[in-house]
Amino acid sequence: MNKLINYNKIYLIFILLSTALTAQILPERDNYYLVIADTRGIVNSETNPGETNIALGMGSKIRVVSVESDKVYFKIHVLGGDLPDARLNGTSLYYIPKSEFTDKYFRFRAGFSGGLLVTPFKFRPDKKKIYPGGNLAYSGSWSINFSEFIIKPVVFAGLTTISIVDVNSQNAETETKIGYTAGFGLGIKVTNAFDLGIVTGWDFIDKDWESNGRLWLALAFGFGI
């Protein structure tokens, strides 16, 4: 029981450090959005009177500057669409009614992003079996943005636990050990806060453990990556 409590403390410290690292590296990256459908109703807030009903094409990328009670203010990061509206530029400040800021605007992190990655189960080819995952890792990924979806090559490193049966003990006792894990994979953004992917990696726990340093495959879940 004491060992389990210690493991929980280690995991908690790991989560806190990972969150702090992400906040330090990515102070503004959460404010980028990908426009996944043609939309109208954009207003240039800097012209007098403001130019209204500006069109923003699918594939455009914007950076939200501020959100007020009824308006979302942003700047253009990348213009998309076959024929971008001539009234759009990369320096002006625009806004759209908050009620229109719907799922047409898909949040992404420009370039590098980080977060927590979990693998509930692992397939170990050396044993041809599926085992509980026990992974909690910090992942770094790079967003590759298409018009309607985002894929993310990812690398990760973190902690893992494994239950090892001590065949030398009289009652074949099971001992839970903590070690290190690392690997890489490919993910796809499902929602603004959730990713799904396929990863492969290696666990390093005990040199006498028969799967130590051997390849595994898994379905992974990412949060905030």
**At 131, which CATH number?**
2.40.160
pTM: 0.58
The residues with which 65 forms a beta bridge, in sequence order, are none
- Judgement on whether residues 13 and 119 belong to the same structural domain of the protein: yes
- Give me the pLDDT at residue 20, please: 52
CB 164 within 8 A of CB 179: no
Parent domain of 186: 2-26+109-223
- Give me the pLDDT at residue 198, please: 92
- Judgement on whether residues 10 and 115 belong to the same structural domain of the protein: yes
- Judgement on whether residues 48 and 141 belong to the same structural domain of the protein: no
The full DSSP string for 89-133 is -SSS-EEEEGGG-STTEEEE-SSEEEEEEEEEEEEETTTTEEEEE
- Judgement on whether residues 118 and 199 belong to the same structural domain of the protein: yes
Answer with the one of 85, 107, 129 that is the final residue of a domain.
107
- Judgement on whether residues 77 and 125 belong to the same structural domain of the protein: no
Per-residue pLDDT of the chain (225 residues; tens, 9 = 90+): 444 445 555 555 655 555 555 544 444 445 778 788 888 889 998 887 778 889 888 888 888 888 888 898 999 988 887 778 888 888 899 999 888 887 777 766 556 667 778 888 899 998 888 888 777 777 777 777 665 567 788 888 888 877 766 555 556 567 777 888 899 998 887 766 678 889 999 998 888 888 889 999 999 887 654
Task: List the one residue out of 197, 167, 203 whose CA is nearest residue 185.
Answer: 197
- Judgement on whether residues 212 and 121 belong to the same structural domain of the protein: yes
Burial group, residue 28, by CB count within 10 angstroms (0-12, 13-18, 19+): exposed
- Judgement on whether residues 20 and 33 belong to the same structural domain of the protein: no
Answer with the one of 107, 141, 164 that is the final residue of a domain.
107
- Judgement on whether residues 13 and 114 belong to the same structural domain of the protein: yes
Under DSSP, the state recorded for 213 is T
Instruction: Report the alpha-carbon distance of residue 73 to residue 56 in Å, rounded.
Output: 14
Burial group, residue 155, by CB count within 10 angstroms (0-12, 13-18, 19+): middle
Instruction: Report the alpha-carbon distance of residue 125 to residue 135 in Å, rounded.
Output: 18
- Judgement on whether residues 80 and 113 belong to the same structural domain of the protein: no
Residue 191 has a CB neighbour count (10 Å cut-off) of 10
The type of residue at 178 is: I
- Judgement on whether residues 175 and 127 belong to the same structural domain of the protein: yes
Answer with the one of 52, 74, 107 that is the final residue of a domain.
107
- Give me the pLDDT at residue 140, please: 73
- Judgement on whether residues 82 and 177 belong to the same structural domain of the protein: no
- Cα dist from 213 to 116, 118, 181, 190, 204, whole Å: 22, 19, 9, 31, 5
- Judgement on whether residues 163 and 128 belong to the same structural domain of the protein: yes
Report how many domains make up the chain. Answer: 2
Instruction: Report the alpha-carbon distance of residue 72 to residue 202 in Å, rounded.
Output: 44
